[in-house]
Amino acid sequence: MITNQEVKDYLEKMYGNDLYKEMEVSEQDKLIFNASELLKDNYDESKLSVRVVALQSLYMLEGEDEEYSKLKRHGVKSYSVKGVSVTFEGTNISPEVVSILGNPKNNKATVGRLI
């Protein structure tokens, strides 16, 4: 089982962790918890590592800082303001995590037929 302290230690070593370091300790714990839970919803827990939880945490933090995460959570597929347009594709999972673990599991039910 991955602990918050292991993820925090890993995040401290990562480049681009300025937003993370500025957070209160309780907010860091919440971020790590949310990243872990999102990954558990989409991958088997046995596949998760400290690295992927840390990568997902930074991805979520960057998205919140740029306010894109809020739009994606509300199902917005494209957004335009003052001549700048953004199109959202994929899931809320970091592309780096997807490249490490593969595509998230499909939680959709299927119907089959026995012959």
CB 14 within 8 A of CB 54: yes
* 107: amino acid identity, one letter: N
Q: What is the pLDDT of residue 70?
A: 66
Binned at pLDDT 50, 70 and 90, residue 89 comes out as: low
Provide the strand spans (E) within 9-115: 78-81, 84-87
Cα separation values, 115 from 15, 40, 112, Å? 55, 34, 10
**For the chain, what percent of residues have pLDDT higher than 70?**
76
